[in-house]
Structure 1
C-alpha cells in the first residue's frame, strides 16, 4: 500500500508527459489534480487501517531485487500524520495556482507530483541514508520551482539562499550518518534503535543538520516564501518545514537520546530567542507574505520547545502544533498571496485596506484563520501550543513563561495585519474587487474544517501518538 503512495504521483507525471493537444492545460490540470486526490484517498484508507495500539512499524514493504538498492518503507504513529498532511496539501497546492500558471504548465504540475513522492518517501523510509537522500532531493525541485515560477523580483537570490543554506547544513548530516554506519554497521532504523552509542560519540553525531528556521539562520525562509509561487509557499510552510520536526523525532531524539538530553538546554535557549526575535520582526513587516513567513518561524520555535521537553505532553503538543501550522499557515498564504495578490498585484500592507467593503465572505474566513493563528480555543493550534508549553513547564517553568510570550506576540501581529487590511477607508490605490470565487472558498474551507474539528476533538490524533511518543522519553 505504501508503495502505491510513492508510485501514483510518478504514474501521474508520466501521464502528463504523454498529454498532447492541450493548449489551455485543462487536461493536464485534471490529471494532476486527480492523481493527487487519488493519493489522498489512499492515505486516508491507510490511516483507517492503522493500528494505534502499537509503536511498531506497519505496512512494511521491502524492495531488495537490486543489489545496490534496498528500499525498506513503513509507517508508525510518528510518521502517519506527516504522510496524511503531505497528501492533503498537494491537491490544495495544485488548486491554489490553478488559473495563474500558464507558462510551462505541464512541468509545473509534474514538479509538484514529484515533490509529493519525495516527501512521502522521506516520511516512510526506514533507512537513515535513504532518509538523507530524500531529505536533500526535495531541494533541487523546489529550487527550480522558485526560479521558473516565482513572482518576486529577487527570486533567483531567494532560491539560491534557500538551496545553499539548507544544503550546506546538510553536509554535516551526511557526515553524521556515515559515522553512525561506522559505529553500528548499518543505517537501518530498526538496527540503529537497538544499538548503544556512548555520550561522547553522540555529541559529535548530534551535528545532524535540520531545516528548522531557528535564530540566527532565518534569513532564507521569508525570502523563499516571498518569491516562490503560491503553491510553493503552501508546501514550504505546510510540509517541508515539518521535515525538520520529523528529523528531530526520528533521528535525534530516537537514536541519540543522551546527546539530545545534553544539548536540550541549548536548543531550548535558541528556540526562545527565535520566538522573541521572530515575533518582533513579524510585527514590523510590511509585505504580507513575509509577515506570514516570519510568523511560521515563531510557531516552529514553540514546536522545538515541545519536542525537547522530554515529556509526553510536550512531544505530542509539538506534533499537533506542526499539523495545525500545516493547515493554518497555507490558508493564510492563500488569503494574502492568492486571493488578495491575484486581485491587486501588490503585497505591501499600506496599499491594501478596507477590503470588507467589497469582500465580506473573504473577510470572515480571513478573520477565522487569523484567530486560529493566534491559538484561540477550539482550534488545533491552541491544543498544540498549550501542550507544548505545559510539557516544557514540567522541565523548565521559566522557558515556558518566555515561550508563552509568543502567543501574545502572535495576537499582536495577526490581528494588526487583519485590521489594517480589512477595515478603514477603502484604499484609493485599488479598484473595486470581487469576493472570493468558488475555487478559493473550497480551498479555504477545506483547511478550516480539519483545524476546527481536530481542535474540538484532538484525541483523533493524540490516541494514535501515545504508543510511539512514549518510546522517545529519556529516563533521567
Structure 2
C-alpha cells in the first residue's frame, strides 16, 4: 500500500518526485510504483485470498478516496511535478480498485492501467524536465505561450496530457474504461464514483496544459526557449508511439492476460469457500 502508494500513506510521493531529477522521477513513476501493485497481485491475492476478500471493502474505499480526493488535490497544485505526482496517485487508485473488485474486466483493466501509466507518467515527467532544463522553474505561473517557441514539444505534450486525461485512442483511456466497467458490474455506485476521475483528470491536466502552453508569450525567458532536440524527440517519440499503439489496439496485451487472470480469480473464489 505504501509503495503503490494508496491514500493515506501516499504523502511521500509528491516530495520524492519534487526532489528527484527528471530521470529519477520517470523511473519512479514508470517502474517503482508498479512494484506495490505487483505485490498485491503476486502475493496478497494468491497467498492470502481469505484476507484479500475480507479487507476488499476497505481497499475499495481507500481506492475511491484516492481517485476522487487526490484528483481534487491535484487541481490546487501550482508546481507541475507535484500536479503529475498527485495525478499518479489518483491513477494508481484505479489499479488497486480493479484488483479488489474481483472480476476479470476489473483485474485486466488494472493491469492495462499499470502499463499505460508507465508510459504516460514517465512521458509527462520527461516533458516537465524538458521545460525545467531550459527555464529552471516548475511553477505553472512562470510559463505561458510555450507553443509559440516550442511547437514540436507542444504537440508531444498535448498527446501525453490527453492520455493522462483518458482521451479515447490513447492508452490512458483503455485501462480506466475497463476498470470503470468492471466496477459497474461489481456495484453501480462504485463504478459511478470511479468514473468521476475522468472529469477530474481532464480538469487538472488541461488546466496545466492551457496555462503552460497556450496564450501570449509570458516573459522574455519563454521567448528565448529552443524547441526539443533530436535526442529529446526520439525519447518522446518512442513513448508517444507506445501510448497510441496501446490505445488503438490493446488486444495483444489483454489477450495474454485472460488465462492467468481467470486462474487467479478462480483461486481467490475457492479461498472464499
TM range, normalised to the smaller chain? over 0.9
Does residue 250 of the first structure (1) align with residue 42 of the second (2)? yes
Tell me the distance in 1 between the aligned counterparts of 2:243 and 2:214: 25
Contact persistence 1:360–1:435 (CA under 8 A): yes
Equivalent position to 1:409, from 183, 187, 200: 200
Tell me the distance in 2 between the aligned counterparts of 1:319 and 1:289: 24
Equivalent position to 1:234, from 10, 23, 26: 26
Tell me the distance in 2 between the aligned counterparts of 1:373 and 1:302: 13
Tell me the distance in 2 between the aligned counterparts of 1:210 and 1:415: 29
Contact persistence 1:349–1:420 (CA under 8 A): yes
Where relative contact order (Cα < 8 A, 6+ residues apart) is larger, the structure is 2
**How far is 1:459 from its partner?**
1.2
Equivalent position to 2:62, from 247, 266, 270: 270
Tell me the distance in 2 between the aligned counterparts of 1:225 and 1:280: 19
The size of the alignment, in residue pairs, is: 267
**How far is 1:210 from its partner?**
4.5
The structure with the largest alpha-carbon Rg is 1
Q: Compute the TM-score of the two structures, normalised by the length of structure 2.
A: 0.95
Contact persistence 2:79–2:140 (CA under 8 A): yes
**How far is 1:417 from its partner?**
0.5
Does residue 361 of the first structure (1) align with residue 158 of the second (2)? no
Indicate the residue corresponding to 2:100 in structure 1.
308
Equivalent position to 1:436, from 219, 228, 241: 228
Q: Compute the TM-score of the two structures, normalised by the length of structure 1.
A: 0.55
**How far is 1:354 from its partner?**
0.6
Q: Where do 5+ consecutive residues of structure 1 fail to align?
A: 1-208
Tell me the distance in 1 between the aligned counterparts of 2:248 and 2:68: 29
Indicate the residue corresponding to 1:180 in structure 2.
none
**How far is 1:456 from its partner?**
1.3
What are the within-5 Å matches in structure 2 for residues 58-457 of structure 1?
A: 210-336=2-128, 338-428=129-219, 430=221, 431-457=223-249
Partner secondary structure for residue 5 of structure 2: coil
CA RMSD of aligned residues (A): 1.1
Contact persistence 1:210–1:247 (CA under 8 A): no
Q: Which protein is richer in helix relative to its size?
A: 2
Indicate the residue corresponding to 1:472 in structure 2.
264
Q: Where do 5+ consecutive residues of structure 2 fail to align?
A: none
